[in-house]
């Protein structure tokens, strides 16, 4: 079917070939009681109906052409379809929760005995057995209205809940895999709540095969002094669309360290909103985008300093080859009461091809007068002199380039405290360069 024909095929109220709203309404009536969240979902549907999907006239969406996406029909997978187990390569821990097409799959997952006070479980299970743990669901401030976050809220059927009670440290890394099969739309929902002084770490893998739509939402709420690390490998299919949202809120003294490596998607976009809600909270956001021919990788970040003495660091890097685009839009917003804020934001891009295009839009909105804020953006090519230096020592051109690209990505790699993942990622970068 041509794109035009698809667009004409019964578009829903949002102007999409897939009837998102009709599907969400049917789902609302069919869901089991614990998963209904009637008010939350009705609110999301209302927001979608009122605002529609974004278009390029909206400032934060002007970098993305959604026409191709609107024309696509995606199936609502009522149950997970079989997937290639190789998609789970890299996840080898004892605690692994796997979702396929937005549904939890016990046969691919591994559950282990957890310390008292720790819950790591599928969302549908938690909703049925301990709904009190879901109080934060849909409650972590999104700050900017994000239509794809609302689309998830209206459509999610399962996900993962991580809940760690006050003062408890979970040593085991929590592994989460969000997998997709061909032609489907998936809306997995992750909720992470760390109470005061708790400590946990998540490694998340996003993968699939063929053409599909992945629409994950992650909500993170950290109590006072909680420490949280989250590494995402966005390794979606190159024919997929991914619109991901992350909302995080940090209480006083909480520390969040969020790392995201992005490789996949015809369009792969993340909208991340993080609020430093308590004094002395600290957020580190690091990104590495590897964009290949035909891809658009897009990160929209909002870090909001609501109170004094907060510290935030955003460091995003892009490596681009072929006719690809990398967009980084980072906003630091410092509210009037957020004195002594220390916020930095950096975006660096390395272009390996003439047709590649990098856009960096660092933005500051500062309403307090005693703050330290810095931002910067660079775009450059591989250093020819360095390349010659390496080659003059016998190192082949391809290996020399890989060395320099790995060096460029080095700070991101150094930020991964898991040596196994660092090695895997280095190998992934090398393979990406050769592909």
Of residues 84 and 383, the one with the C-beta less far from another protein: 383
Q: How many residues bind another protein (CB under 8 A)?
A: 23
Stretch that binds another protein, among 205-213, 279-287, 366-374, 378-386 (CB under 8 A): 378-386
Q: Is 23 in the site for another protein (CB under 8 A)?
A: no
Six-digit token string for 237: 């299919």
* E strand or H helix at 399: helix 397-408
Q: Is residue 181 within 8 Å of 77, Cβ to Cβ?
A: yes
Kindly indicate which of the ranges 80-88, 284-292, 362-370, 396-404 contains the residues binding another protein, using the contact rule CB under 8 A.
Answer: 396-404
397 lines the binding site for another protein (CB under 8 A)? yes
25 near another protein (CB under 8 A): no
The dihedral formed by the CA atoms of 144, 149, 153 and 156, expressed in degrees to the nearest 10: -160
Q: Which is nearer to another protein, 170 or 319 (CB)?
A: 319
For 18-67, the DSSP string reads: S-HHHHHHHHHHHS-GGG--HHHHHHHHHHHHHH-S--TTSGGGTT---H
Where b means 16+ CB within 10 Å and e means fewer, 238-270 reads bebbbbbbbbbbbbbbbbbbbbbbbbbbbbbbb
Nearest distance, CB of residue 318 and another protein, angstroms: 16
The site map against another protein for 90-119 (x = CB under 8 A) is ------------------------------
Rounded CA gap, 117 and 131, in Å?
Answer: 15
Q: Give min distance, CB of 173 to another protein, in A.
A: 26
- Report the site for another protein in 210-269 (rule: CB under 8 A): none
Nearer to another protein, 367 or 388 (CB): 388
Among 6, 313, 340, 406, binds another protein (CB under 8 A): 406
Residue 424: CB atoms within 10 Å? 15
**334 with 368: CB under 8 angstroms?**
yes
CA dist., res. 364 & res. 333, Å (int): 6
Q: Does 407 participate in binding another protein (rule CB under 8 A)?
A: yes
Nearer to another protein by Cβ, of 275 and 346: the residue is 346
In the complex, the residues that contact another protein under the rule CB under 8 A are: 383-386, 388-397, 399-400, 403-404, 406-408, 410-411
């Amino acid at each position: 079917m041509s794109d035009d024909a698809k667009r004409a095929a019964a578009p829903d109220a949002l102007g999409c070939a897939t009837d998102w709203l009709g599907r969400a309404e049917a789902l609302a009536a069919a869901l089991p009681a614990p998963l209904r969240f009637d008010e939350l979902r009705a609110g999301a549907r209302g927001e979608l109906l009122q605002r529609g999907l974004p278009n390029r006239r909206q400032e934060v969406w002007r970098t993305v052409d959604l026409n191709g996406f609107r024309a696509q029909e995606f199936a609502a997978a009522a149950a997970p379809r079989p997937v290639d187990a190789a998609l789970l390569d890299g996840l080898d821990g004892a605690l692994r929760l796997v979702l396929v097409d937005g549904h939890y799959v016990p046969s691919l997952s591994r559950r282990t005995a957890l310390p008292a006070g720790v819950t790591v479980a599928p969302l549908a299970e938690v909703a049925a057995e301990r709904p009190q743990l879901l109080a934060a669901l849909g409650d972590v401030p999104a700050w900017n209205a994000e239509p794809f976050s609302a689309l998830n809220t209206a459509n999610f059927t399962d996900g993962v809940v991580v809940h760690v009670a006050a003062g408890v440290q979970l040593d085991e890394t929590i592994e989460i895999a969000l997998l997709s099969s061909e032609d489907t739309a998936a809306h997995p929902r992750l909720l992470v709540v760390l109470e005061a002084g708790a400590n946990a770490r998540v490694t998340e893998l996003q993968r699939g095969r063929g053409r599909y739509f992945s629409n994950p939402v992650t909500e993170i709420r950290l109590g006072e002094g909680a420490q949280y690390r989250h590494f995402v490998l966005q390794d979606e299919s190159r024919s997929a669309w991914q619109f991901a949202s992350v909302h995080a809120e940090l209480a006083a003294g909480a520390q969040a360290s969020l790392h995201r490596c992005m490789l996949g998607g015809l369009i792969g976009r993340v909208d991340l909103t993080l609020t430093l809600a308590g004094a002395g909270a600290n957020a580190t956001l690091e990104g590495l985008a590897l964009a290949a021919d035909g891809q658009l990788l897009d990160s929209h970040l909002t870090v909001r300093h609501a109170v004094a003495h907060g510290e935030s660091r955003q460091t995003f890097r892009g490596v681009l080859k072929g006719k690809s685009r990398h967009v980084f839009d980072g906003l630091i917003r410092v509210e009037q009461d957020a004195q002594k804020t220390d916020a930095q934001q950096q975006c660096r891009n390395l272009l390996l091809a003439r047709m590649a295009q990098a856009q960096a839009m660092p933005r500051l909105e500062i309403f307090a007068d005693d703050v330290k804020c810095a931002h910067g953006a660079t775009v450059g090519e591989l250093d020819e002199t360095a390349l010659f230096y390496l080659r003059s020592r016998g190192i082949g051109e391809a290996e020399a380039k890989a060395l320099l690209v790995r060096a460029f990505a080095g700070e991101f790699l150094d930020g991964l405290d898991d040596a196994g993942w660092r090695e895997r990622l280095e190998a992934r970068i090398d393979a990406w360069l050769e592909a």
